[in-house]
Amino acid sequence: QVQLAESGGGLVHPGGSLRLSCAASGSFFRIIAMGWYRQAPGEQRELVATVNAGGGTNYADSVKGRSTISRLNAQNMVSLQINSLNPEDTAVYYCNARVYTTTTDWGDFWGQGTQVTVSS
């Protein structure tokens, strides 16, 4: 089983910044991509940012330009820096890892979620 350890959530002032980090461990052959998704109350879970093993990144329009996702491959870790936070960023943030579980199969695994609240 793949386990994802998340850290960095909490209460942040509007205009502030935070960094979310996630480390993957367990049984898998290799990581295809890692990233962060978020879900606000009453909303669908949505992509925030992802980074693949080759370093390619993808950002949601809502965070593009104020976010940076990075991957430390040797440690199976990913971090997401978000600047200029606003109340609309308030959500539960989930780490995602897409991994090869065998030589031919892959699957998605999720962290338990960490709350990010942006409020004065």
Question: What are the pLDDT digits (tens) for 3-13?
Answer: 999 999 999 99
Tokens of 94: 């989930």
- In the chain, the percentage of residues whose pLDDT exceeds 70 is 100
Q: Count CB neighbours of 90 within 10 A.
A: 18
> What is the pLDDT at residue 99?
96
> What is the pLDDT at residue 1?
83
Which residues are CB-contacts of 4 (< 8 A; sequence separation ≥ 6)?
22, 23, 24, 95, 96, 97, 109, 110, 111, 112
| Residue type present at position 100 | Y
Pairing mode of beta strands 10-12, 2-7: unpaired
> What is the pLDDT at residue 72?
86
**CB-based contact 50:96 (threshold 8 Å):** yes
Mean pLDDT of 78-103: 97
Say yes or no to pLDDT of 116 above 90. yes
The residues that bridge with 110 in the sheet, in sequence order, are: 96
Question: What are the pLDDT digits (tens) for 42-61?
Answer: 999 999 999 999 999 999 99
